Copies of this chain bind each other. A is one copy, B any other.
Amino acid sequence: MDDITKTAFLNRPDLHVGTEGEFAGWRTWSRDNFETNNGPFWHRMEDDGRIRSAFRVEKKHLNGGGNVHGGCFMSFADYCLFATASPVLQGPGVTVSFACEFIDAVREGELIEGFAEITRAGGSLIFLRGQLTAGERTLFTFSGTIKRVKRKAAPQPNA
C-alpha cells in the first residue's frame, strides 16, 4: 500500500479515533446518524494493509430470538464495504447493489469481525466481497458494489 493510499485512508473529515476500551486506536466515522445509532462500528488498517472491521454485540443488535438481527449483519457489512474501499474511493460513494447469505447465529457479548477484499476498483464502480466471523465461526458472506459519486463542479460566476 503506497503513501498516497494510506493518506486517503486517514483523511475522511469525520474520522474519529477511539481513545478507550477495547477499540482504543480503532477508527470510525462520526457523521453518520444510522451507524452511530447502531454502532459504533470500528475499523483499522493491519500491518499488511488489510482493513479489519469489528463491533461487540449489545442488546440493541438482537432480534426477538436473542440473536443478532439480519438487518444488523447487513448494516455492518455495508460499513465493511466502505471501510475496505476507503483507501481507493478517495471521495463520496454509494452502495448500488448488495447480496448476502446468513450462515450462523451469534449472541450478545460476542465480537463480530469483518474482512472484505476489492474484486475490482474501476473508474466508476468498486466491486467487493467479504465475510463476517465470530472467532473461528463464519457467520455471514456478502458481496457489494459501490459507485463513485462525482462531486459537481461549482457553477462559474459568468456561465
Residues of A within 8 A of B (CB): 14, 29, 31-35, 37-38, 59-65, 68-72, 74-76, 78-79, 92, 94-102, 105
Contact = CB atoms under 8 A, between A and B. Distances in A.
A29 B31 CA distance: 30
A14 B70 contact: no
Number of copies: 2
A102 to B, nearest CB: 5
B75 A98 contact: no
A33 to B, nearest CB: 5
A35 B78 contact: no
Nearest to A99: B99
B95 A38 contact: no
